[in-house]
Amino acid sequence: MGNQRGHELADHITRIVALLADELSTSDAAKESSRSDVTHALSTARSLQALADEALAHLVTDARERGITWQTIGDALGISRQAAFQRFGTAIDPRTGKAMNKPTEEAKRESITKAEQFLDDLTASRWKEAAGQLGPVIGAHLDAEGLATTWAQVASLGGALETRLPAEAIGLADGITVVEQPLAFEAADLVARISYNTDGSMAGLWFVPADQALTERPD
């Protein structure tokens, strides 16, 4: 990595990997491990995930400074150049000429969790529970009955819902997070698109054709 932060990341990751490996082996060997031991291992794994995300971002920054293209970076990560840029790039705001404020990876994960809970309730016909998650902007125009009608209209496009694929999130300007989850119906493929403000409230809700998805889908 070639700089102090790179060495610090390497040291932190080495220590946490060793600690997590020890906790995993202990857990496997002793099924009677205490609840605190298990929860501590979970916390350690989460710390490792956060460090891995930071290390990956550090490596991408280093690659860009060396003149490596987004296409090459995307190929190395198994994603498109657009997906690589959305995750690691810094767009310049044409309004200010400064770097845009985009959501963190943690904020994206939290938004995915919220979107999945909303869709759990919506697809299970729990209209009141789903409506309670709409946020003040959407909730001012759409109540539980209106949400049920909306879902009925969506179902009329392709029949019964058969499968929900994993959700993905991207960050936009001003800290907006957009979550998309593909929905496979009997006779149509749609995408649920849900946006969240920086305060975590839902800001937008759409159901669009799969070929209009903003997030990258696996082949």
Q: Would you say residue 100 lies in a domain?
A: no
Q: In sequence order, what are the residues at sequence separation of 6 or more whose Cβ sits closer than 8 angstroms to the Cβ of residue 30?
A: none
Position 92, amino acid: I
Is 185 within 8 Å of 164 (Cβ atoms)?
no
Helix or strand holding residue 115 (H, E)? helix 105-123
Q: Residue 51: pLDDT band by 50, 70, 90 thresholds?
A: confident
Indicate whether this model's pTM tops 0.85: no
Asked if 130 and 202 sit in the same domain, the reply is yes
Region 59-64 average pLDDT? 90
Q: How would you classify the pairing of strands 168-171 and 189-196?
A: unpaired
Q: In sequence order, what are the residues at sequence separation of 6 or more whose Cβ sits closer than 8 angstroms to the Cβ of residue 132?
A: none
Asked if 116 and 200 sit in the same domain, the reply is yes
Asked if 35 and 133 sit in the same domain, the reply is no
Structural domains of the chain, count: 2
Asked if 34 and 132 sit in the same domain, the reply is no
Q: Would you say residue 217 lies in a domain?
A: no
Asked if 114 and 55 sit in the same domain, the reply is no
User: pLDDT value at position 30?
Assistant: 52
Model confidence at 9: pLDDT above 80: no
- What is the rounded average pLDDT for all residues in the chain? 86
Per the model's pLDDT, the better-predicted residue between 11 and 5 turns out to be 11
Q: Would you say residue 133 lies in a domain?
A: yes
For residue 4, what are the CA distances in angstroms to 1, 8, 64, 124?
A: 9, 6, 18, 51
User: pLDDT value at position 1?
Assistant: 45
Asked if 79 and 19 sit in the same domain, the reply is yes
Segments forming the whole domain that contains residue 189: 105-212
For residue range 116-167, what is the model confidence (pLDDT) as tens digits?
999 999 999 999 999 999 999 899 999 999 999 999 999 999 999 999 999 9
Name the burial class of residue 181, with classes exposed (0-12), middle (13-18) and buried (19+) by CB atoms within 10 angstroms of its CB: buried
